Amino acid sequence: MDFFTPKEVLVIVGIIAVTAIILDGARRVKRNRYEKLQMSSRKLQQESVEYDEDEDELDQSQFPSGGSRIIGSRDVEEPRLDDNFDFGGKPEQQGFDLDHSIYASRDDDLSQSRNTVSNVSGPSDSASVNSQDVLVMHLVANKGDTVNGESLLETAVDAGLRYGEMKIFHRHLNNDGSGQVLFSMANLVNPGTFDLNTMKTITTPGVTLFMPLDDIEDPISALEVMIQTVDT
């Protein structure tokens, strides 16, 4: 009879140990699965019990009578017509005072608001009618210099300007100062007027020429006269 060598014995013992370890692990896995299944079934049972309790609570009504009931067709009363109602009678119309009604007060408010609107819009309309196009030209002396009043008066008279309304100079259609006003000359210094008594002693930084285009029959010719005046 042959005996196993020590090396073969160790191999056999190792195989047996490994097999035992594998079997023990499989047993543990199987037991864990079984425990999880039991826990799941218990949880499902508990949830089922709670659901049944909720349904029981919903079934119990909170009405004073203790519960709800289905109303049958006989429980609903049908509407009745009043036999004493007179369908042939004519309705009476109540008296209504138009002079003291709410509509009369509204009409008064409306008329008052219309008057207010007309008063407010009146000046703006007149302003739009009176507005006109004006050509303005500023003649200013060099920086730091001024225009002598006496020289300005002589130049204005030589250019055909005449002292007149609003205390400023005007250029008329005719050289003798007659006819339509073509343009005017005002002082750059406020209030823009000239005083003939003191004009020879004053100085000014410049003058302003302005032409109301809407009031002139031939604006182009008037503009040419203005340019000639500036060149002088």
pTM exceeds 0.75: no
Write down the residue that tokens 């309304």 correspond to.
165
Alpha helices in the chain (DSSP H): 6-59, 102-130, 149-158, 219-231
- 208 by Cβ neighbours in 10 Å (0-12 / 13-18 / 19+) ranks as middle
pLDDT per residue of the chain (232 residues) written in tens, 0 to 9: 455 677 777 778 888 888 888 888 888 888 887 777 777 667 667 766 666 665 555 555 444 555 555 555 555 555 565 555 554 555 454 444 444 444 445 555 545 545 554 454 445 444 444 677 889 999 998 988 999 999 999 999 999 999 999 999 999 998 888 889 999 999 999 999 999 999 999 999 999 999 998 888 888 999 999 998 888 7
